[in-house]
Each structure stands twice: as structure tokens, then as C-alpha cells.
Amino acid sequence: MPQQFWKPGTDKPRILEDEEGGVVFFAPSLSSASSSSSRFGYASIGSQRQRLPVYKYRTAILYLVETHATTIIVGETGSGKTTQIPQYLKEAGWADGGRVIACTQPRRLAVQSVASRVAEEMDVKLGEEVGYTIRFEDVTNPAATMIKFLTDGVLLREIMDDPLLTKYRYVDSFGSKNLELIWKKLEMVLFCVFPGMVADLLEHIQRRRPELRLIISSATIEAKSMSDFFQTSKKHRGPEDHEFVPRKVPAVLSVEGRGFNVQIHYVVEPVSDYVQATVSTVLSIHDQEPAGDILVFLTGQDDIDAAIQLLAEEAHASRKISSGLIVLPLYSSLPRAEQDLVFSPTPRGKRKVVISTNIAETSLTLEGVVYVVDSGFSKQQFYNPISDIENLVVAPISKASARQRAGRAGRVRPGKCYRLYTEEYFVNEMSSVGIPEMQRSKLVSCVIQLKALGIDNILGFDWPASPPPEAMIRALEVLYSLGVLDDDAKLTSPVGFQAAEIPLDPMISKMILSSNQLGCSEEIITIAAILSIQSIWVSGKGVQKELDEAKLRFAAAEGDHVTFLNVYKGFLQSGKSSQWCHKNYMNYQAMKKVIEIREQLRRTALRLGIVLRSCEGDILAVRKAVTAGFFANASRLEVSDLIFLFPARLEAFSHNGMYKTVRGSQEVYIHPSSVLFRVNPKWVIYHSLVSTDRQYMRNAMTIDPSWLTEAAPHFFQNLRRPDPIAH
């Protein structure tokens, strides 16, 4: 039975406040809005729009945007920042003359759902006046789209897209002239919801393009530090900035008020098992609270699966309280159709429980949600530049995240948020903001993008949160070894510029570019598409044996990359059949995504002048192309010295599966999901490392070590001669 763990006496309405008193600026008294609903022309939904707190600030916002290069808007969750401000700008004519109002969001799901909502409010078809672009999916019409929602990553790519192509055709060096091209092309008003690198880059661009307007808006933004950042030029900012250029003082507007109250409840004692506590809380809400859906925040798919299982068991054991519950998972690798279920209306007399990762944390409105259960944890990516491993770690969330989570309730009616941590912990121990992404991410893709934008002096770049120097150096090293950067750390022509054009990890981009000379671009594009998604196999839980057998049907002795080609061929031969996928323990949605990504990569390749050609089974060419991108991820099996004395008899007993990476001599093992697991060839290259009980190589392929020096002589010149076991 659910335990009684809510603090007595906290059941009174408590408006979510900035506990730190962090909001420091207030709106200049610029009058409240004067618009009437008839001006909007979307009458049925117009009154809803007018009830939102941000509506009173419509005129103020338009005035500030008109008169300031940058406007920072701070407002509670649900106050209407994301859905309304782009519409105000459009209504005021900011999208006239072919300009676009762009609104960035950190997550794909938020981009899609907010775009749909705004299209609905404007009563237009999604993909026309209002559209969205996420990686590998463009739902816009260049001739018609005025408001466009997009992820940060897509925006970066759009900024550099045209100038890159233009540059590549006309000039050899990518100097400051190129920036002028970017500014000419970028006819956008930008509405940047989350501050981070994108805001910084835009500010950089803005200093040369005064007509560009930037709005930074969030419920959790540290307005003071952001404002300071935009006002002062702290450092020398790069070769193109010899003179000190003061930044224009940004306007800061605080939107008062919130949609509906959200009561916050804390546990009295810390919980020892947050999955169990989540399940108890959901059941007790269902038992005791009036109608309304529940949104639960856990950390990842494993937690979510465990919670769903537990909920099913406990619900079964206590029939009385469990009837009428519809439980839905929500995480990023879930097929789109299943994700969409969370937006569908809850049938009468039922209660939906959405159990989600933090993909539902920002900008999302799930209409029926009245209750939020916050576990206090999320999975966060941490990158270690020394080992080059990106780990997803379960870590406590920040106050900023906690507020965002609570803000998913109270959007269309009052709500409640149940925090599975104590109030004391929240007030005294929880950090105010999390560690910025910039400081815990791999930087290769970010560095190549900065370079492509013409920002060459990245060490002198004025980051809002400086990344660790080791990560920066590691990124520069990788890009240099790939031939993407030259001795002066500038993008090389054409390889560097071409690699920057491909929306993938530069190692994959280099692999694609190399496939052109090797005559196997069709195969390599298939491999690149498959490497871009999490997994093409169904989750092995409960069906591991069957899954392993299915893999064996496609397994190639050369390793996972060649196995992918067999899988893809089988899928095409089956007529892209879902039954075929089901029979072979393959994720049908993932395979459909592979087809989509592949098509987009083919278009990019054609644009870059790559000839689309199949090697017709010449697997050697494919393996060499993979090596050309991933040579830095080579590793060699560690074999006992005894092998040299008794080579024939002892080979099988001469190793324990441990490899050493050629760069850095780290101990690594082949991941159990690889077709080379237990095969242990002498030399392999891998796609990525994951760290659990050991460090594992995911997606491994056998190589001949001589290909390494062929692919990157400069990179390997300092390494000792390949071990005799290789030959």
C-alpha cells in the first residue's frame, strides 16, 4: 500500500517562486497590451491566448524587440513565452518580406509539439506558415514558412549552410569575409528559448548584423548573468575582433503571473528507492485525488520499464485502486507513433500516467496533466576527454529542472507536484542550475561548427560557460588527425568544409567523404545511417537468446558494420516488411528511420559532389572507408607472451578478451552486443566506447593494421610498430 509520506500542512496552494530571488529585472512600465482578439483572426482560440500572462506584455515585448538587439524575457512556466511571442512578432510584421521568426528548443519532441500547437492556434496547416525542422525531418515550406521551430543543432547548421556552399565554390580561405556572407543570408529574427552556445554564437553574429534580433526567454534563466554576458566584452574575441566592441545593453523583461497554481508537496523523509516511491505515489494519487492525468519523471528507459512493471504488479495486487489507469512510457528512442500516444485525449473515466525521462521537462504541454511526480533524478551525459568516453550518469537534478518539471502541471488548470525529496534538500542542497552542457560534452561537432562559422580562435571565444581545456584540445586533435583542420587550426578545403556540411559526427563525415574515392558511398551511407540511431535491434529484455540467434543470421566475420549491410539488404529484400522485422527481432520503426536518414544523407552527399556508387560486394573498400574515419578508434588484442613460444596450440588460451587502444593504451573489451563478442580478432576499430563494469567497444570491425598508417600516416607516426601478432 502507498505510504503516507507527504508533509502534513503543505497541502495549501503555493505559488512556485524563484527561491533564490534570482529574477532581478522588472519590466519597464510600458503599458499593457491593447490588442483585441479580432486582430488575431483566430477567434476560437483567441480568448485562451489572451488569458495567458504574457499577453499583457505584448506591446512591451514588441517595443523592446524593436529598440534592442537582444531582449531577455523571464516568465513562469506556462506563461506563454514559447507559443505566443513568435505569433506577436509575426503579427507585428517581423516575418514580412520573406524573413523568418526562428524559435529554438533543446529537444525534438518539444519542437514538434509546440509547432503543432502554434499552427493550431493560428488555424494554419503545419508545414506552411508555421513549420519545424529537426535533424532528418523538415516540415517547412521555404516559400511560406514565417514561424519556424527548430533544435539548436539545426539552427547552427542553417547558419552555416549557404555560406559554406558559396565559399566552397569561390574562395580558398575562409576568413572574415565569410562572416559577411553569413549575415547577409541570415534574414531571421531569432527567438532563442534556451541560452547556451547558440545564444552566444548569435550574439557574435549580431554584432555584424544589427537588424538581427535575439530574444532569450526562459522560466529558469539566470537573467542577471545572461545580461552581464551580453553587456561586457571580457576577452579578446578572435582575429576578426581586434577592436573592443561593446555589446548593446539587452532589455530584460520579467513577465509577472502564471497560468494556474501548482501545489508543491515534499516527502518527509528521503526515499531510498525512487522507482518504488514513484509507483506508490502514482497509486495513492489515483486512489485519493480527483480526475486528471499524471506525469512522472524518472531517469531512463530502464527505470521507466521497471516502474511500469512494478505498477502492473501492484495494480494487480490491489484491484480496487488500479482500475482505469492507462500507463504510457515516454523516452527519446521510443518509436514516434508510441510517443504520440501521450498527446492523445484520455478516454472518459480513465486516468493516463505518462512515465517519462526529462524529454518532457521543457516546453511541453500535455493537456490532461494535473499531477506531476518528480523523482529528483535524471540521466545526464558526462564526457571524459582523457578516456574519450561519454557516460550517461544518473544524477540529481537542479532547482531549475525541478521548476520546469513542476511547470508541466498547472497549464490548463490548477495542478499538484509531488517531489520525492525533502523540502530541506530542495532548499539547502539542490544546486540552482545544472552543470552547463558545454562543460560535460564532447566538443568535436561544436568546434567544427564554430570553425565553419568563421570563428577560428575558439580558445579565445567568450563562452558563457567555458568548456574544459582538455575537451577542447581533444576535439582539435581529432579534427586535425581527420584532416578537417590544417596546421593553423583552420578548416581545410575541401575536406573540412565538406565534413562540416554533413550533420553527423566528423568521424562519420570523414568516412562518407572517403567512400567517394573508394567507390562504396552507397554502402557507407547505409552504415552511417544505422550508426546514427540508437539500435536497430529490439531490446533484448526477456528475448536475449532469440535476439542473439537472429543476429547470427546476419553476422559477418568482418564485424558489426558489415553485418549492418546484411541487415539492410535483408530488409529491402523483404519489401521493408514489418513482419520480417518482427521475425528477426529488429525494430521496425528504427529501420524506417534508417531509410529516412539514408535518403537525407544521399541528398547531402550529392550536394557535396560525392558520386553515389555501390562497390557491389567489395567489402574491402567498405572496411577501408570505415577505417579512414575511425582510425583513431583502433585497438589491439592483448596476447600473453606465451603465444610466441607455442603459437599454434595456445592461441585460444592466450588472451582474456582485453584490448588496448592504440591511442592512450586504455583497457577495453568488445561489447556483448557485437557480433565480434568472444571472436576477439587481433585488431579492431570501434564506433564508440561505453563504460559499465568495464569499458566496452560498441560496433566493432576487424581491420588490417597496415590500413591505419595508410589512412592517417601523421597520426600513427609516433606509435610503435604494430605487434607481430598482426601478421
User: Where on the chain is the footprint of ligand ATP (CB under 6 A)?
Assistant: 52, 75, 77-84, 117, 219, 259, 362-363, 365, 367, 407, 411-412
Q: In the 8-state DSSP scheme, what is residue 390?
A: E
Nearer to ligand ATP, 404 or 449 (CB): 404
Nearer to ligand ATP, 52 or 122 (CB): 52
Q: Is 55 in contact with 87 (CB distance < 8 Å)?
A: no
Helix H segments across 191-326? 197-206, 223-231, 274-288, 301-317, 319-322
Q: What is the distance between the alpha carbons of residues 415 and 291, in angstroms, rounded to a whole number?
A: 11
Q: What is the distance between the alpha carbons of residues 324 and 400, in angstroms, rounded to a whole number?
A: 33
Nearer to ligand ATP, 77 or 301 (CB): 77
Nearer to ligand ATP, 77 or 145 (CB): 77
* Element spanning 111, H or E: helix 108-122
Residues 6+ apart with CB under 8 A from 444: 475, 478, 479, 505, 506, 507
Residues 6+ apart with CB under 8 A from 372: 262, 294, 295, 296, 297, 405, 406, 408, 409, 415, 416, 417, 418
- Closest contact distance (angstroms) between CB of 49 and ligand ATP is 8
- Closest contact distance (angstroms) between CB of 226 and ligand ATP is 16
Q: What is the distance between the alpha carbons of residues 419 and 518, in angstroms, rounded to a whole number?
A: 57
Nearer to ligand ATP, 260 or 463 (CB): 260
List of E strands, 627-710: 634-637, 659-661, 667-670, 683-691, 695-702
- The grid cell for 689 is 566506447
- Closest contact distance (angstroms) between CB of 190 and ligand ATP is 16
- Closest contact distance (angstroms) between CB of 362 and ligand ATP is 6
Nearer to ligand ATP, 81 or 237 (CB): 81
Residues 6+ apart with CB under 8 A from 458: 447, 450, 451, 472
- Closest contact distance (angstroms) between CB of 78 and ligand ATP is 3
- Closest contact distance (angstroms) between CB of 218 and ligand ATP is 7
- Closest contact distance (angstroms) between CB of 413 and ligand ATP is 9
Nearer to ligand ATP, 403 or 440 (CB): 403
- Closest contact distance (angstroms) between CB of 342 and ligand ATP is 11
Q: What is the distance between the alpha carbons of residues 250 and 229, in angstroms, rounded to a whole number?
A: 10
- Closest contact distance (angstroms) between CB of 464 and ligand ATP is 20
Nearer to ligand ATP, 259 or 376 (CB): 259
- Closest contact distance (angstroms) between CB of 410 and ligand ATP is 8
Helix H segments across 123-175? 152-170
How do beta strands 667-670 and 659-661 pair? antiparallel
In sequence order, what are the beta bridge partners of 369? Answer: 293
Long-range contacts of 47-50 (CB under 8 A, 24+ apart): 49/80, 49/84, 49/87, 49/121
Nearer to ligand ATP, 52 or 538 (CB): 52
Nearer to ligand ATP, 73 or 610 (CB): 73
Of 36, 56, 62, nearest to 47 (Cα)? 36
Is residue 545 classed exposed, middle or buried when 0-12, 13-18 and 19+ CB atoms within 10 A define those classes?
exposed
- Closest contact distance (angstroms) between CB of 50 and ligand ATP is 11
The number of beta carbons lying within 10 Å of the beta carbon of residue 615 is: 18
Residues in the chain: 727
- Closest contact distance (angstroms) between CB of 77 and ligand ATP is 3
* Element spanning 118, H or E: helix 108-122
Of 548, 531, 560, nearest to 584 (Cα)? 548
Q: Is 156 in contact with 140 (CB distance < 8 Å)?
A: no
Q: What is the distance between the alpha carbons of residues 363 and 220, in angstroms, rounded to a whole number?
A: 12
Nearer to ligand ATP, 83 or 661 (CB): 83
- Closest contact distance (angstroms) between CB of 360 and ligand ATP is 11
Nearer to ligand ATP, 112 or 445 (CB): 112
Nearer to ligand ATP, 75 or 434 (CB): 75
Any idea what the Cα angle at residue 633 is, between residues 613 and 614, rounded to 5°? 10
Nearer to ligand ATP, 82 or 278 (CB): 82
- Closest contact distance (angstroms) between CB of 250 and ligand ATP is 19
